[in-house]
Structure 1
């Protein structure tokens, strides 16, 4: 783990993985934004970090890039597996909700919504 001059760990390992000490922000969250081309100052502000915390995170990621990248790939795989699980589990429920008739008196609202959906679909094609 990375330590400061007073020997306090800046990056610690928790049950959620590598984390910035004193926060709930994982290095994988920071990497997500780095890969989305966020500048360090915006990442710092997004997670409400101090300059020292973001510097420690970036330094740790750079110094341990091979290990951190391997763990990050595992995290991405786990996220995808969880997403697929819940998508499959909720598929029937979403179909049931979609088949439920609309409440009486909301026909105008639903007509507007369908019109907007049609326009959005046409724009994306």
Structure 2
């Protein structure tokens, strides 16, 4: 069960970090958009599942606790990058194994049809 402590009306801390109460939307998602320079009105449109009050509570909390949230955000970004690198390495090994496998003879006919179709599409697209 999630450990929850009320920080401000509408914002709670769970094992996922700071989230909008009753949702899975983290404040770090808002920070992503804010760092990218999106206006608040556009960010609001990206989250139609929350109320205006929830959105305002989240933005107010971010503004009131900017330093702490920025520090947590940097930790989240670093962790996400580590996870991405892990899966990229793991998947590249897996894809290399798949590429090294020989194709089944029963699949050769379909592969040649697909290759011909792809060539036809590419030639018609370049005309």
Give the TM-score normalised by the residue count of structure 1: 0.75
Secondary structure of 2:62's aligned partner: helix
Deviation, structure 1 residue 54: 1.0
Q: In 2, Cα distance between the equivalents of 1:74 and 1:49?
A: 26
Structure with bigger gyration radius: 2
Aligned length: 109
Unaligned runs of 5+ in 1: 3-8, 117-125
Instruction: Check 1:96–1:13 CA distance in 2 against 1; reply closer, same or farther (3 A cut).
Output: same
Q: For the aligned residues, what is the CA RMSD?
A: 2.2
Alignment match, 1:57: 58
What residue is the counterpart of 2:42 in the other structure?
42
Corresponding residue of 2:125: none
Distance 1:40 1:108 in 2: 50
Residue in structure 1 matched with residue 86 of structure 2 by the alignment: 85
Identify if the C-alpha distance between structure 1 residues 24 and 99 changes in structure 2 by more than 3 Å, giving closer, same or farther. same
Q: What is residue 30 of structure 1 aligned with on the other side?
A: 30
- The alpha-carbon deviation at position 100 of structure 1 amounts to 4.0
For residue 106 of structure 1, what is the aligned residue in structure 2?
111
Give the TM-score, by structure 2 length: 0.73
Report runs of 4+ in structure 1 exceeding 4 Å deviation: none
Cα distance change, pair 101–42 in 1 and its aligned pair in 2 (3 A): farther
Superposed CA deviations along residues 7-37 of structure 1, whole A, max 9, x for unmatched, are xx31110010001111110000111122223
Which runs of 5 or more residues in structure 2 are unaligned? 1-6, 123-127
